[in-house]
Chains A and B, each alone.
Chain A
Amino acid sequence: MSTLSIENISMRFDLPNGSHVQALQDVSLELNTGELMSVLGPSGCGKTTLLNILAGFLAPTEGQITLNGHKVTGPDAERGMVFQQGALFEWMSVRDNVSFGPRMAGKREKEWRGTVDHLLDVVGLQDFKEKAVYELSGGMQQRVALARCLANDPDVILMDEPLGALDALTREKMQGLVLKLWKETGKTIILITHSVEEALLLGERLLVMAPRPGRIHKEYRLPFADDGVGQDLREVKKNPEFGQRREEILSMIWDMEEEIMGRTEEADA
């Protein structure tokens, strides 16, 4: 059963000097309900552009996206988004941030209170619900962002390097949390990351993109996300297959980066 389908998406930005940038070229993809796909690629490969198109913030120059059979034309509560820097509302308490979606939908407090309290429990912020968000640490803020997104009960969650700004230890804890939430809620998740390890750990499917023009380079199906639900993430990383995959993907991305560098040098010469 296919829910999210990306059909021949191309994205082309015209520059004022007459030239253009082909950010995405003919990207097609199908995503089933409950799948977690991580997207990896060197900088400039169009992964953030793809995510913005999925969220509805940008309209593709060609192709279309359908979710549950209807076309995506703009941002909507059915597609939640988690940003690199929380994008929380500083003027609201943790609780008001998390309940933002339901409140905007016009729900009464008794309708959302249970969900919000449960989510705050899951992300471990029950004691902080009346705090102002600027009083929280970066990791806590990101947990608020996750809870806020889930409280709105979207069909698809789009994550744009949600753990990129966190320190290594917090990041590892948060990776566990993302896996846990994914299994518990059964949401479809697309996660963009710069970390190969994170992409391998979290992605049930892993998409490697190539730059100039941005396109899908290779897709993997991985067992590690399912493993990670049951056991310690560090155990998963010890798996020899994990190491092998990591090396494979790393060298693939390195090659792409080198190719870009080479091309720029040619252009410079």
Chain B
Amino acid sequence: MIILLIYIVIFTAAFFVVRFGVRKFRQMKDFTSLKTVTFGDESAVRPDRWASVISVVTIFLLWGAFTGSKWVPIHAPGPFVGDAEFVYTLEAPDGSRDDATVFVKVFNVGEDVEPPEVEPGDGFAKNDASAVGAWRSDLILMDKNDEITRKDGAKVVAIDGQPVSAGETVSVAAGEVAVTSKGSLNFSPSGGMQMEPIWLPPPEDVVKRVGEIASEGYQNFTLWEHLYWSLFRVIVGFALGAAVGIPLGYAMGLSDWFRGWFDPIVEFMRPVPPLALIPLVIIWAGIGESGKIILLFLAALWIMTISARAGVSGVAISKVHAAYSLGASKWQLMRHVIVPNSLPEIFTGARVAMGVCWGTVVAAELVAAEKGAGMMIMVASRFQLTDIVIMGIILIGIIGYGIDILMRKAENWLVPWKGRI
């Protein structure tokens, strides 16, 4: 909740700073900047590059600040670490009371510490000592060394002078103390506002992991091998899907018989999410490469078929008529008119198919695989290796984005007339 508020504050503050600060220094005078009506004119809404940069930086800053990263100068308050103490008041069955102090050493998990040595003190309640890791809690059986114990009917009635009974919790200087239903004390040092590394590691840990896994590997394969295998499956599966789907789509766009024969199949298979096919593919082909490639082939096939069919039906009839009137044969019409005219549609389909294939391969690897990006993060999550999981997610995102950018570049290069007809 606090993070969301901070995020909104940064969003708003950055807006005003950029709008009224930075803009003053770099006034642009292109055509769009001279438009007075911009609200409602979609073409006048261009992404503000400042906002994009600040947006990405903000995410990393927040991530760093709330995980205690060394890369970020400002931090959210971290967990309490060090020596803490609190006083409990024990009441004997006869009504007499005595105070004793509990000394707790709060340490960073992973360090080796001993509970502090303490003097027992006087009275029937004796002082106790304990050690607890940051973000953890510790059950303190405070009466073990006391002269009158809970068995004798003694009970804790106050902590640091605040009255308390079983089941209640009170705040002390370095955290909280709860009295359990059985009467013992449970001390939780204050966790601060940072995330514990097992839930969200700081960015530098993730980056360190990239180096580590790139050189040493994880689950028998290096990072690059995991990513390579995922990409390899996508490319082979997509290539096979396109190699079958595009001709099939053309056939469906050009022939009654093909259209009639394959329409029910395509229309039925199209809404089936490829993920739903994973179990069947595993039964048929196992968890090896052939299973993955069959799955991706099926994922790409219907998309490519439908886009090729749409590409053929998208040919303006006047162009077909024009080509025939200029003496083209059926084959020439296909080669010089129908195929080029359907390329924009096919590229759109290919972009969608590549995205779907990338998502499907990761999902398939999550279910069962020997190697691959999805398998890497799935196995890491079983061991609570959150840094590997986050690294994997970021790399999967970057690769997916990269694929889309490459497809768009290829599209601009190969079908420059797209959208200009």
Contacts and interface: CB of A to CB of B under 8 A. Distances in A.
A105 B343 contact: no
A193 interface: no
A132 B415 CA distance: 12
A154 B417 CA distance: 29
B327 A134 contact: no
A85 B317 CA distance: 11
B321 A104 contact: no
A89 B337 CA distance: 7
A259 interface: no
Contact of B336 (A88, A104, A134, A154): A104
B326 A148 contact: yes
Interface in B285-331: 316, 318-319, 321-329
B416 interface: yes
Interface string B400-421: 0000000000000001110011
A85 B336 CA distance: 19
B340 interface: yes
Nearest to A133: B417
A87 B341 CA distance: 12
Interface in A69-112: 74-77, 79-81, 83, 85, 87-91, 100-101, 104-105
A87 B318 contact: yes
Given A91-B417, A132-B417, A134-B420, A104 B322 contact: no
Contacts of B321: 55, 57, 75, 81, 83, 87
A50 to B, nearest CB: 15
Given A76-B327, A101-B326, A104-B329, A90 B318 contact: no
B38 interface: no
B332 interface: yes
Contacts of A10: none
A152 interface: yes
A5 to B, nearest CB: 20
**Which of B321, B329, B332: most chain A Cβ within 10 A?**
B321
Interface string B205-245: 00000000000000000000000000000000000000000
A84 to B, nearest CB: 8
Contacts of A132: 416-417
Given A83-B318, A87-B319, A89-B319, A75 B324 contact: yes
Nearest to B341: A91
A87 B327 contact: no
A137 to B, nearest CB: 13
**Which of A75, A101, A134: most chain B Cβ within 10 A?**
A75
A79 B317 CA distance: 17
Given A77-B327, A91-B343, A105-B327, A83 B420 contact: no
Interface extent on B, as a size class? 20 to 34
Interface string B190-216: 000000000000000000000000000
A146 to B, nearest CB: 12
Contacts of B323: 89, 100, 104
B421 A90 contact: yes
Contacts of B316: 87
A81 B322 CA distance: 6
A152 B326 contact: yes
Nearest to B333: A104
**Which of A79, A80, A83: most chain B Cβ within 10 A?**
A83
A134 B325 contact: no
A154 B325 CA distance: 9
A76 B325 contact: yes
Contact of B325 (A75, A85, A89, A90): A75
Nearest to A77: B327
Contacts of B332: 104
Nearest to A84: B318
Nearest to B421: A90
Contacts of A79: 325
Nearest to B322: A87
A141 to B, nearest CB: 11
B329 A90 contact: no
B326 A100 contact: yes
Contacts of A152: 326-327
A76 B329 CA distance: 10
Contacts of B337: 89
B417 A90 contact: yes
Contacts of A134: 417, 420-421
Contacts of B324: 56-57, 74-76
Per CB-CB distance, the 5 closest pairs between chain A and chain B, nearest first, are A77-B327, A75-B324, A90-B417, A87-B318, A91-B340
Given A87-B319, A91-B341, A152-B326, 14 more contacts: A55-B325, A75-B325, A76-B325, A79-B325, A80-B326, A83-B322, A85-B318, A87-B321, A91-B340, A100-B323, A104-B323, A104-B327, A104-B329, A134-B420
5 contacts: A77-B325, A89-B341, A90-B417, A91-B340, A101-B327
